[in-house]
């Protein structure tokens, strides 16, 4: 089994280790002097979605290589939120920021979209690559989200209740059960897992689940490569940001782990006000 929390890793020797045998998976693609580690995982078992129903959905795109990097969510006219894994990956790659864009306003990742250049990426100062705690980042764009299907979504407030066994939805353009990146936005129906059970499962993999994380399980429906940073939704609010999962995607035992947005509600608002 594999665990890789990041879709594309921009670093000279990026590796994803097999947690059972220590085998290293590498599929390196060169861009200048930087290598892109692209691990082929597959939202799996999801359904086609219409951007009309998810006008806050966005994706991060690496233009020179025509590669989907991960998901993002529109939360204000100039702002999206994503995983710190994504932001850190971009920063450590030493690749000019103007080679990345935010695409939105379309159900399709490579058709009919609006494109937004990135002004800055702000990663939570407490983020840890080792523990994946405080795993949140914000991306500010230069040109505002004002398209027909570019609308901000409400955020889960500090006191939002993550009730176990309730239905939530995950969206994204990541790999599907066919092993290919989806050309159209997908959604999957999953269920919130109680904190104790989630911690117990992931403890078997020597992974600590903190109170800044929330877990959801889909019994075969799961995010996959390209879905890191994508939205977990409930009651028309952004409640989570996709982080990592047991692979192959669609694991029937381990729940997927998300950043708990409610824990960062104040930080998000303060960041937008000060930057």
Cα 144 to Cα 112, 122, 151, 178: the distances in Å are 17, 17, 11, 35
Residue with tokens 């204000």: 76
User: DSSP character for 179?
Assistant: S
State the pLDDT at residue 22: 26
Relative to beta strand 256-260, strand 237-244 is antiparallel
Place 45 in a pLDDT band, splitting at 50, 70 and 90. low
HSE-CB for 250 with a 13 A CA cutoff = 15
The pTM for the full model equals: 0.83
Q: Is the dihedral of CA 161, 164, 167, 171 positive or negative?
A: positive
CB-CB neighbours of 111 under 10 Å: 9
Q: Write out pLDDT tens, residues 186-204.
A: 999 999 999 999 999 888 8
Strands (E), the chain: 8-10, 16-17, 24-25, 28-31, 34-38, 47-48, 57-62, 67-76, 79-82, 100-104, 114-123, 137-141, 154-155, 167-172, 186-193, 213-217, 231-234, 237-244, 256-260
HSE-CB for 77 with a 13 A CA cutoff = 4
Report the percentage of the chain scoring pLDDT > 90: 59
Given a contact cutoff of 8 angstroms between Cβ atoms, the answer to whether 105 and 150 are in contact is: yes
Distance (Å, rounded) from C-alpha 2 to C-alpha 245? 9
State the pLDDT at residue 43: 56
Given a contact cutoff of 8 angstroms between Cβ atoms, the answer to whether 240 and 256 are in contact is: no
State the pLDDT at residue 44: 59
State the pLDDT at residue 191: 95
Q: What share of the chain is helix, strand, coil (3-state, %, to 5)?
A: 15, 40, 50
Q: Which residue, among 68, 128, 75, 107, has the nearest Cα to 265 in the 3D structure?
A: 75
Kindly indicate whether the domain formed by 154-262 is annotated with CATH number 1.10.10.1100.
no
Distance (Å, rounded) from C-alpha 142 to C-alpha 119? 5
Give the residue extent of every domain in the chain.
154-262
Cα 174 to Cα 10, 125, 243: the distances in Å are 18, 27, 13
Given a contact cutoff of 8 angstroms between Cβ atoms, the answer to whether 79 and 121 are in contact is: no
State the pLDDT at residue 246: 72
Distance (Å, rounded) from C-alpha 25 to C-alpha 6? 13
Q: With 80 as the cut, is the pLDDT of residue 14 above it?
A: no
Distance (Å, rounded) from C-alpha 48 to C-alpha 86? 24
Q: With 70 as the cut, is the pLDDT of residue 40 above it?
A: no
Distance (Å, rounded) from C-alpha 185 to C-alpha 100? 20
- Give the pLDDT mean for 82-109: 91
């Amino acid at each position: 089994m594999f665990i890789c929390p990041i879709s594309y890793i921009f670093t000279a020797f990026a590796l994803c280790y097999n947690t059972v045998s220590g085998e290293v998976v590498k599929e390196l693609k060169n861009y200048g002097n930087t290598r892109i580690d692209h691990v082929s995982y597959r939202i799996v078992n999801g359904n086609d979605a219409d951007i009309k129903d998810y006008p806050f959905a966005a994706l991060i795109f690496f233009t020179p290589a025509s590669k989907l990097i991960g998901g993002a969510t529109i939360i204000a006219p100039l702002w999206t939120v994503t995983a710190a894994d994504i932001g850190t990956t971009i920063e450590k790659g030493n690749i000019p920021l103007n080679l990345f864009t935010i695409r939105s306003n379309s159900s399709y990742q490579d058709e009919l979209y609006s494109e937004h250049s990135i002004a800055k990426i702000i990663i939570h100062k407490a983020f840890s690559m080792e523990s994946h705690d405080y795993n949140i980042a914000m991306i500010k764009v230069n040109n505002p989200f004002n398209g027909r299907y570019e609308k901000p979504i409400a955020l889960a407030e500090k006191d939002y209740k993550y009730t176990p066994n309730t239905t939530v939805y995950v969206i994204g353009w990541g790999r599907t059960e066919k092993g290919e990146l989806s050309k159209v936005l997908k959604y999957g129906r999953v269920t919130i897992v109680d904190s104790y059970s989630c911690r117990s499962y992931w403890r078997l993999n020597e992974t600590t689940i903190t109170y800044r994380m929330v877990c959801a399980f889909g019994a075969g429906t799961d995010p996959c490569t390209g879905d890191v940073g994508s939205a977990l939704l409930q009651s028309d609010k952004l409640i989570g940001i996709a982080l990592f999962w047991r692979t192959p995607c669609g694991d029937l035992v381990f729940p997927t782990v998300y950043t708990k947005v409610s824990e960062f509600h104040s930080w998000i608002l303060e960041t937008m006000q000060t930057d």
